[in-house]
Amino acid sequence: MSERFADSDVVKCVELAPGRAAHAVHIGLYDQLHSTYAALETWCTQNALVLSGQSWEVYDDRTDDMSKLETSIFLRLSDA
């Protein structure tokens, strides 16, 4: 988002400080995002990258074919 928006019960507007993040693209249904999160977390562990606990998703829903939806997943890396 380029500007702040009002929080809802489901979505909170937060501003992230600059920093590094691990990134993966999930292709497919939203209810399978957990598998891509798990794979990205495993990759981070294997590469000795420490996670901060912050994450976010970016949705590319420009298709009507639900099996081709693309969701970018970002895991913030710890500065420590």
> Would 66 be classed as within a structural domain?
yes
pLDDT in tens, 45-74: 999 999 999 999 999 878 889 999 999 999
Query: Model's pTM, two decimal places?
Result: 0.82
Domain annotation covers residue 32:
yes
Measured from the Cβ of residue 22, the count of other Cβ atoms closer than 10 Å reads 17
Q: Dihedral of CA 47/50/15/74: which sign?
A: positive
User: Domains in the chain: how many in total?
Assistant: 1
Q: Which domain holds residue 50?
A: 22-77
Q: Measuring CA to CA, how many Å separate 12 from each of 15, 22, 79, 80?
A: 10, 21, 23, 26
- Higher pLDDT: 14 or 74? It is 74
